[in-house]
Amino acid sequence: MELPEAWQRAVVPPLPSAGPDVVGEFARTIYGSTPVGGELTDLVLRSRDSGAFDRLHHRAVITCPLGDLELDTTTHLPAGASPQHPAPLVVALTFKADDAPPASVLEAGYAVLTVDYQQIEPDDPNAHGGVRTLFEAGSWGAVAAWAWGLTRLLDIAGGIDGVDPANAVVLGHSRLGKAALWAGAQDERFAVTVANGSGCCGAALFRHPGGEDIAAITSRFPHWFVPSFSSYAGRESELPVDQDQLLASIAPRRVYITSAEDDAWADPVGEYLAVVAAQPAFGPNGIGYHLRPGTHDLLEEDWLHALDFAKQ
């Protein structure tokens, strides 16, 4: 892939050194500490739509310390998937309950397990309910709650015939790309983590000027992070971490970052530089990057590039 001139000219800025507890530092500084708990206690198949590709609808009950969370999940199965021949799995949150993966993903042999992200935690700083209310008071933001949900989806996959949860791929776009990265950093069962257009607090470096910054993101979405994170607005150079460390923390498991050339708010150059800076933590083919023309969206080609990488 030939990168545009702006990418070729870009230089990795000075970055902080990683301490001994990188994931813990990200929890304290940005995302919050995910509490222990949340057990799958019931999984019921509610319907199965058969066609070129089967679609399964399950109701899952996750028992938390202060109550139960019920999730309505959708599993898209490729042709030929069965308990005897389970399909490799992609786990993803969606922005709407009826969002479906491209048919070409299923034709490539993957099963895709999804749930509407707001079933896990409302995307509203003034909303009540959500999984964070089902734990004793703690400091974790909505991005961490959605990441917790991705881990629960992997638990759910173990009870669904026709899918193989081993070596699963976790994939997310935009704010859900941030959640995918945080899930991948914490749950070693995810073999490949894919973040598409994840931008600020996702794959993009804080210390690369461009796109959304801490002041903008914490003003619009204060509920995504720990409250103290907003104190770094305008002080990005004082952060004890940067996002290359988050990518590197997933090694030796694999990471794939995708950007769109005109997705300026997500700072695609900053995403690319984070991949460059994280590269030494990975072996050959351990981290990949793709840039396509266009704007902020998750397209079929993004899925296919990521899954081609996952197969390597």
Question: Could you list the active site residues?
Answer: 174, 296
Give the Cα separation of 51 and 34 in Å (integer). 39
What six digits make up the tokens of 89?
Answer: 């799995």
CA torsion 142→176→78→284, rounded to 10°? -120
Give the Cα separation of 124 and 222 in Å (integer). 9
The CA-CA-CA angle for residues 184, 185, 187, to 5°, reads 60
Give the Cα separation of 183 and 148 in Å (integer). 7
What does the DSSP 8-state code read for residue 311? H
Handedness of CA 144, 13, 207, 19 (dihedral sign): positive
DSSP SS3 for 23 = helix
Of 260, 282, 278, the residue nearest 269 (C-alpha):
260
Give the Cα separation of 255 and 80 in Å (integer). 28
3-state secondary structure 181-233: HHHHHHCCCEEEEEEECCCCCCCCCCCCCCCCCHHHHHHHCHHHCCHHHHHHC
The CA-CA-CA angle for residues 238, 244, 247, to 5°, reads 135
Per DSSP, the residues of 225-278 read S-GGGGGGTT-GGG-S--HHHHHHHTTTSEEEEEEETT-GGG-HHHHHHHHHHH
